[in-house]
A and B are shown apart, each in its own frame.
Chain A
Amino acid sequence: AQRVTQPEKLLSVFKGAPVELKCNYSYSGSPELFWYVQYSRQRLQLLLRHISRESIKGFTADLNKGETSFHLKKPFAQEEDSAMYYCALSDSWGKLQFGAGTQVVVTP
């Protein structure tokens, strides 16, 4: 069965500290994984996808097939990173299965 697990509901970090959001998945095929972000009072939007292997707003995420993980990392958190982050797994139709989400709060 296809599943996405985000174990942390809330992550509170200080500005300038590293932040890591955990995501684990189960999928029988070749996974397509994404991170979506929802800032306060804004619409849900794509942050990054594993296949592009790029850094967006200082965030990176590496797909580890051995550990079935796709953790999101940023070395130095900023206050504007406070948001709800969702890990998502796509099926062959492009339908996304979302994790439960992690609320990130960055305090000065």
Chain B
Amino acid sequence: GAGVSQSPSNKVTEKGKDVELRCDPISGHTALYWYRQSLGQGLEFLIYFQGNSAPDKSGLPSDRFSAERTGGSVSTLTIQRTQQEDSAVYLCASSLLLGELFFGEGSRLTVL
């Protein structure tokens, strides 16, 4: 594909349920980032992958959040036992050059 692809684009779930968000980065991009965008909080860093390893996961808000990346490509962000404060747009980005991130369109999560 030409750009970073994320799915689902929209997810509505009930409080307490688990959700999985998927990111397909640009082919060949070794770095992958997850951010969260919400009103009043701006753009928050969640986790960074270089290849399959995550040297920086300092932004994950709690142990309900986890992420993995396999084959140096696709990444999945999992949120367990969702809470209403998890409602946000989750953005994935990939990169080849330092600081030059290519973002996906995001997955909008609504927790009822």
Contact = CB atoms under 8 A, between A and B. Distances in A.
A43 B103 contact: yes
Contacts of B43: 44, 86, 98, 101
Contacts of B97: 94
Given A44-B91, A97-B45, A49 B106 contact: no
B1 interface: no
Contacts of B45: 95-97
Nearest to A98: B43
A88 interface: yes
B103 A45 contact: yes
Contacts of B28: none
A62 interface: no
Interface residues of B, number: 23
Interface string A11-33: 00000000000000000000010
A88 B99 contact: yes
B103 A94 contact: no
Interface in B26-84: 31, 33, 42-43, 45, 48, 50, 55-56
Query: Which bucket holds chain A's interface residue count?
Result: 20 to 34
B48 A46 contact: no
Contacts, number: 52
Q: Chain B CB within 10 Å — which of A36, A88, A95, A99 has the most?
A: A95
Q: Chain A CB within 10 Å — which of B31, B97, B100, B106 has the most?
A: B100
Interface string B8-28: 000000000000000000000
A34 interface: yes
Contacts of B88: none
A49 B100 contact: yes
Interface of B: 3, 31, 33, 42-43, 45, 48, 50, 55-56, 91, 93, 95, 97-106
Given A43-B3, A88-B99, A95-B56, 8 more contacts: A32-B98, A86-B43, A90-B99, A94-B99, A95-B45, A96-B101, A99-B42, A101-B42
